A and B are shown apart, each in its own frame.
Chain A
Amino acid sequence: MNDLFEDFDEISELAEGLNDAAPGGRIMAVIELADSADPAAIPYLAKAIVDADAGVRKQAAIAFTDFDGPETSAALVGALSDTDPSVIEAATVSLTELKDPAAGDSILPHLESEDPVKLAACFLGIKELRRSEALGPAIKALHHQAYEVRIQAVGVIGWLQDETALPALREATKDAEPKVRRTALSALGFSKSDHAEVTLITGLDDPEWIVREAAAETLAKSGGTACLAPLRAALKDDFWQVRLKAVRSLGKLNAIEAAMEIGPMMEIPVPNLRKECAAVLGELAVPETVQFLEKFADDTDPDVRKNVRWALGKLAA
Chain B
Amino acid sequence: MPAHEFAIETHGLAKFFGGLRAVDGVDLAVPAGSTYGFLGPNGSGKTTTIRVLLGLISPSAGKWQLLGHRMPEEAMAALSNVGALVEGPAFYPWLTGEENLVRIDAMGRDGQRSTRGARIADALARVGLGPAAGRKYKAYSLGMRQRLGLASALLRPRRLLVLDEPTNGMDPQGTREIRHLIRQLGSEGTTVFLSSHLLSEIEQVCTHAGVMHRGKLLAQGTIAELRATSSPRLRVEVDDPGRAGQVLGRLGMSHLERSGDNLTGALDGLRPEDCCRALVEAGVAVRMLLPERPSLEDAFVALTGEGFDVAR
Q: Do A and B come together as binding partners? A: no
